[in-house]
Amino acid sequence: MASTEIYRYLSVGEQSIPLDPEGYLVNMNEWSIQVCERLAEEEGIALTADHWEIIHVLRDFYARFEQAPAMRPLVKSAGQALGPEKGRSIYLMKLFPGSPAKVGARLAGLPKPANCL
């Protein structure tokens, strides 16, 4: 769930972007490509075009349904948007190791997915 508690700040150029205790944006509107890149750096992820595709899938999902997806619907959305070979959990695990739904949501500037381990 979205948290309003400011735990620390992410510095992006001149800006300080507040993050909650789990590293999600406190204010979703502050998301930008630069913010996403800095968050990815923290995760040790070098963003590629494949990552951006999934980040857009995540942001589209939120725009439609007002929630970040758990793994199952993320896999399904990726498959619908990008084709069956990308709608697989192994593919997403490679891009966003650990928990693709959670890491992906964080980088995409979404709240933490609610229905997720």
Task: Tell me if 114 contacts another protein by CB under 8 A.
Answer: yes
Stretch that binds another protein, among 16-24, 25-33, 66-74, 88-96 (CB under 8 A): 66-74
Give me Rg for the CA atoms of the chain.
13
Cβ atoms < 10 Å from Cβ of 54: 23
> Binding of another protein at residue 64 (CB under 8 A)?
yes
Q: Hey, which residues are catalytic here?
A: 116
Residue given tokens 């857009």 in the structure block: 56
Distance, in Å, from the CA atom of 111 to the CA atom of 20, rounded to the nearest integer, reads 10
Q: Candidates 30-38, 51-59, 70-78, 88-96 — which segment interacts with another protein by CB under 8 A? A: 70-78
Amino acid at 24: Y
Interface contacts to another protein, rule CB under 8 A: 61, 64-67, 69-73, 76-77, 114-116
